[in-house]
A = this chain, B = another copy of it.
């Protein structure tokens, strides 16, 4: 098993996929806001979605596709209107959007999926969908993946795309992805879910049940590990399409399937990390690890409490090695552990020993917390379970972006 990241890779790196990104008019700025991804042949697929009670109309349509459709052949994505909390009219609009795209591509609407991101509570302007589909259909190309990545951005500052080329047992295939999401990002859920929009393509041949199982597991170890602001969206969507055009077949429970799952995880983690680095106003990337906990759930509660703590996040923003705030967050997390056995490290430097000050001078810690990326490890000495999350800091810029954001 071997895989490598492809330079400038994206959803059009795997063979048999076309993509485009155009300006339909959803964004007042005139920036690209409509993307289309098309497989030249029917593709097996899977999806994981927000667990929010107010799931948006496009999410409800995607869930129906996962349940009822045998394959997908196209995905349309708009940014600028989430089509959430729009009732039956919104649901009809998402279905109609698929119909418009299907007609334009001469395929059936049940083989088209839709994702939306942007303002909640605004009905879709169907003229913009018509325009987006017409323009995007015309602009489809075999190297349009990065353009599509640009069109799905909202408060993201950089487009996020990647692809890996995998070799296993003499066979090759590719996996590519685009993603967006710089706010409303939080992993605090017990069921598999996704926290943003991510479209993944592969030219491997792999069945729907295999894809669903692997995608859910990988989402738990990538997108579900990141926290920017602790808010979960109504529209979180991760879709994967497998069109088989590489000729490589991935059978269940084989080394090929392991290779596929591992390469896909690397790709999803790569994008998850870049989402945190591009988090709204984020200036820091902090890996919070809890090790030697009694149970994975204790480790998870503890790591997520630190990763979501506003006091920790503002300290990181301020280059403040204030471990007291980490301790306070662990303490209220609900995790079961013995405070007097807890050690904490910033990078490799001990800051807390047996629940108290490890005696490291603050100056020695400053070098670590000034870095753009660093880790905080909490060792509970109380078992062998562990969990980690990736967190951003909280800056003035986050507040500015979200106090002013109206799409």
When distances are taken between beta carbons in the complex, the residues of chain B under 8 Å from A320 are: 403-406
A120 touches B318 (CB 8 A): no
When distances are taken between beta carbons in the complex, the residues of chain B under 8 Å from A82 are: 324
The closest CB in chain B to the CB of A362 belongs to: B406
A399 touches B396 (CB 8 A): yes
When distances are taken between beta carbons in the complex, the residues of chain B under 8 Å from A330 are: 53-54
Q: Does A327 touch B at the CB level, under 8 Å?
A: yes
Assembly CA distance A333 to B233 (angstroms): 11
Interface size class of A (residues with CB under 8 A): 35 or more
Assembly CA distance A3 to B287 (angstroms): 53
B327 touches A85 (CB 8 A): yes
Q: Does A16 touch B at the CB level, under 8 Å?
A: no
The closest CB in chain B to the CB of A54 belongs to: B331
A331 touches B402 (CB 8 A): no
When distances are taken between beta carbons in the complex, the residues of chain B under 8 Å from A186 are: 332
Assembly CA distance A162 to B339 (angstroms): 36
Instruction: Kindly list 17 other residue pairs between chains A and B, CB separation below 8 angstroms, not including A87-B354, A90-B356, A315-B403.
Output: A53-B330, A53-B335, A54-B355, A55-B331, A120-B323, A122-B357, A230-B310, A231-B310, A231-B311, A231-B332, A232-B332, A310-B398, A314-B402, A317-B403, A320-B405, A394-B399, A399-B399
Binding site for B on A (CB under 8 A): 50-55, 82, 84-87, 89-90, 119-123, 183-184, 186, 188-189, 229-234, 308-311, 314-315, 317-318, 320, 322-325, 327-333, 335, 337, 339-340, 352, 354-357, 394-396, 398-400, 402-406
Assembly CA distance A371 to B84 (angstroms): 27
When distances are taken between beta carbons in the complex, the residues of chain B under 8 Å from A322 are: 119-120, 406
Give 9 nearest A-B pairs by CB, closest first: A120-B324, A318-B403, A52-B331, A314-B402, A54-B331, A87-B356, A232-B332, A53-B331, A229-B310
When distances are taken between beta carbons in the complex, the residues of chain B under 8 Å from A309 are: 230-231
Assembly CA distance A51 to B314 (angstroms): 23
Assembly CA distance A316 to B87 (angstroms): 25
Assembly CA distance A355 to B90 (angstroms): 12
The closest CB in chain B to the CB of A229 belongs to: B310
B357 touches A121 (CB 8 A): yes
Partner of A400, one of B310, B356, B396: B396
A357 touches B310 (CB 8 A): no
The closest CB in chain B to the CB of A309 belongs to: B231
When distances are taken between beta carbons in the complex, the residues of chain B under 8 Å from A231 are: 309-311, 325, 328-329, 332
